[in-house]
């Protein structure tokens, strides 16, 4: 059986790794994408014409039209939790299995959230930039995390892990998530409006979908305290970036940090990231060896199961899988 690993060489180095690639090669014959540009729909069809399985990164879209054009394809394996770039309905109609990896990046993203909070509170990036530019930094009063309130939007795996860290740091923890019930007595579950109005740090970890599009917009930012910091580690789709930029420029919130945005490849938008009260990283929340290997090795296990004709853990449309080996 043949597998197309659709990652570009750079994405393969950063987001797959030799151990997982060797595991994939032990399970099937591997076809590598060797060009620097991501595969669009047409080039994906050409690259995968002899493939039984596609293992795809976030830049490789599983558009609806590809599945009918790849009659040999049995499965589309997504090396991440987010499968919004895969047309699952079209895959199901063609009998192609779609899988996703589990959230192996929980600790890595939560740690970045902690780093963002410290940086925003103490001006680490700002004063370092001053020193490196030969300027004398201004010694400004900082804020300690202990005794502050963190408002976590979205109480999934990362939100729960971050809440535990915040409790250890003696922060007061507020959570807004209409789809879960928080049983921890040390955490106060609130509506979004109350969370925004009460929090010193607002950390956005909600799922990105049609319902959460522009969740943080003009109205939400108007409820946020002027001294508060906003942190986005979910997806850029949740934020009305024009509204956030206005709030930052007008001093209606103290600052923001972001690892994601509406630029290509879910990167922070440069115009927003360059504001003086913003810190940004280029979508590296899950970019640690442990996090990457967790997800890439999971795709190896999924491919192994598919080769055996078994339904792997992480399958999202197993009941529609008719192109089984």
Could you tell me if 111 and 188 lie in one domain?
Answer: yes
Note if the pTM is more than 0.85. Answer: yes
Could you tell me if 98 and 118 lie in one domain?
Answer: no
* Domain contains 40: yes
**pLDDT 10s digits, 86-109:** 999 999 999 999 999 998 999 999
Could you tell me if 27 and 43 lie in one domain?
Answer: yes
Dihedral pair phi/psi, residue 109, rounded to 5°:
-70, -40
Could you tell me if 98 and 123 lie in one domain?
Answer: no
* Domain contains 238: yes
pLDDT at 247: 97
Residue ranges making up the domain that contains 255: 106-280
Q: What is the CA radius of gyration of the chain?
A: 22
Q: Which residue stretches of the chain have pLDDT < 50?
A: none
What is the distance between the alpha carbons of residues 120 and 258, in angstroms, rounded to a whole number? 11
* Domain contains 325: no
pLDDT at 295: 94
Alpha helices for the chain (secondary structure H)? 9-15, 18-27, 41-47, 64-68, 88-93, 106-122, 124-132, 157-168, 192-198, 218-223, 241-249, 270-273, 289-307
**pLDDT 10s digits, 190-206:** 999 999 999 999 999 99
| Domain of residue 148, CATH code | 3.40.50.720
pLDDT at 210: 87
Mean pLDDT of all residues belonging to the chain: 96
């Amino acid at each position: 059986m043949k597998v197309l690993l659709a990652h570009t060489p750079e994405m393969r180095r950063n987001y797959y790794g030799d151990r997982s690639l060797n595991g994939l090669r032990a399970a099937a014959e591997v076809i590598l994408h060797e060009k620097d540009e991501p595969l669009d729909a047409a080039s994906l069809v050409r690259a995968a014409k002899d493939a039984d399985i596609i293992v795809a990164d976030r830049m490789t879209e599983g558009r609806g039209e590809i599945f009918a054009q790849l009659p040999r394809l049995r499965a589309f394996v997504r090396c991440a939790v987010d499968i919004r770039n895969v047309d699952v309905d079209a895959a199901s109609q063609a009998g192609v299995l779609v899988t996703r990896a589990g959230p192996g990046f929980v600790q890595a993203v939560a740690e970045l959230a902690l780093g963002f909070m410290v940086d925003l509170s103490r001006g680490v990036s700002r004063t370092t930039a001053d020193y490196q530019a030969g300027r004398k930094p201004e010694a400004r009063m900082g804020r300690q995390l202990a005794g502050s309130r963190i408002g976590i939007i979205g109480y999934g795996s990362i939100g729960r892990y971050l809440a535990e860290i915040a409790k250890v740091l003696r922060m007061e923890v507020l959570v807004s998530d209409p789809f879960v019930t928080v049983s921890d007595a040390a955490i106060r579950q609130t509506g979004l409006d109350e969370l925004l109005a009460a929090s010193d740090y607002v950390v956005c970890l909600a799922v990105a979908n049609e319902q959460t599009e522009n969740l943080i917009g003009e109205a939400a930012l108007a409820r946020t305290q002027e001294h508060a910091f906003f942190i986005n580690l979910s997806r850029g789709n949740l934020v009305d970036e024009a509204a956030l930029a206005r709030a930052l420029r007008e001093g209606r919130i103290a600052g923001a940090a972001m690892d994601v945005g509406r630029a290509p490849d879910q990167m922070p938008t440069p115009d927003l990231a360059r504001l003086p009260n913003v810190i940004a990283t280029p979508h590296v929340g899950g970019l640690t060896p442990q996090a990457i290997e967790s997800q890439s090795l999971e795709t190896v296990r999924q491919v192994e199961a598919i080769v055996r004709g078994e339904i792997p853990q992480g399958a999202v449309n197993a009941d529609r899988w008719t192109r089984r080996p």
